[in-house]
């Protein structure tokens, strides 16, 4: 894996911030950047751990799965950064990311439950259909959740 220095990290972070200029208040877009960095970080950590466990357990998927179940964060299929990035052009990508983050929070290792809040929600790329009741968005959430499967 190539070595990344602080200047490269800073440049990428500033470019990410530049994408929000004019659309979001500067005090708000840090939340989106931090959530994205968090998702990328835990995705990379779990991917690295999975690769190491596959070697350690000589490809025994059952043992790897059991070991990954003890990780601090549990990523359901389709909720990792790479899967979401592959679907980045979907019209409902914001909703897919929100659902993935909810799954990650809901499936944290039990000893870490209660240490977090759902404060950052990503906007949908397109405007959502009008809601007429508390469950009006349910079919859309179900469709987005199915994409994570």
- SS3 for 14-55, per residue? HHHHHHHECCECHHHHHHHHHHHHHHHHHHHHHHHHHHHHHH
Residue ranges, the chain, pLDDT below 70: 1, 108-149
pLDDT attached to residue 133: 46
d(CA 56, CA 13): 35
Residue 76 lies in a domain: yes
* CA 123/CA 88 separation, integer angstroms: 13
Instruction: Evaluate whether residue 7 is within a structural domain.
Output: no
Q: What is the pLDDT of residue 88?
A: 93
* pTM greater than the 0.85 cutoff: no
Q: Enter the tokens of residue 92.
A: 């409902």
In a domain, 23, yes or no: yes
Report d(CA 44, CA 27) in Å as an integer: 27
Residue at 46 is within a domain: yes
Is residue 119 assigned to a domain? yes
């Amino acid at each position: 894996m190539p070595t990344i220095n602080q200047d490269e990290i800073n440049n990428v972070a500033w470019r990410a911030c530049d994408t929000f200029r004019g659309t979001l208040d500067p005090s708000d877009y840090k939340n989106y950047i931090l959530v994205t960095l968090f998702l990328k970080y835990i995705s990379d950590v779990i991917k690295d751990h999975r690769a190491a466990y596959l070697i350690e357990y000589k490809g025994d998927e059952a043992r790897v799965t059991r070991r990954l179940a003890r990780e601090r964060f549990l990523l359901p299929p389709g909720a990792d950064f790479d899967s979401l990035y592959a679907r980045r052009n979907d019209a409902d990508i914001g909703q897919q990311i929100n659902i993935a983050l909810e799954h990650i929070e809901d499936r944290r290792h039990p000893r870490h439950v209660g240490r977090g809040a759902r404060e950052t929600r990503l906007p949908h790329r397109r405007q959502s259909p009008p809601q007429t009741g508390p469950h009006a968005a349910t079919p859309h959430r179900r469709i987005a959740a199915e994409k994570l499967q």
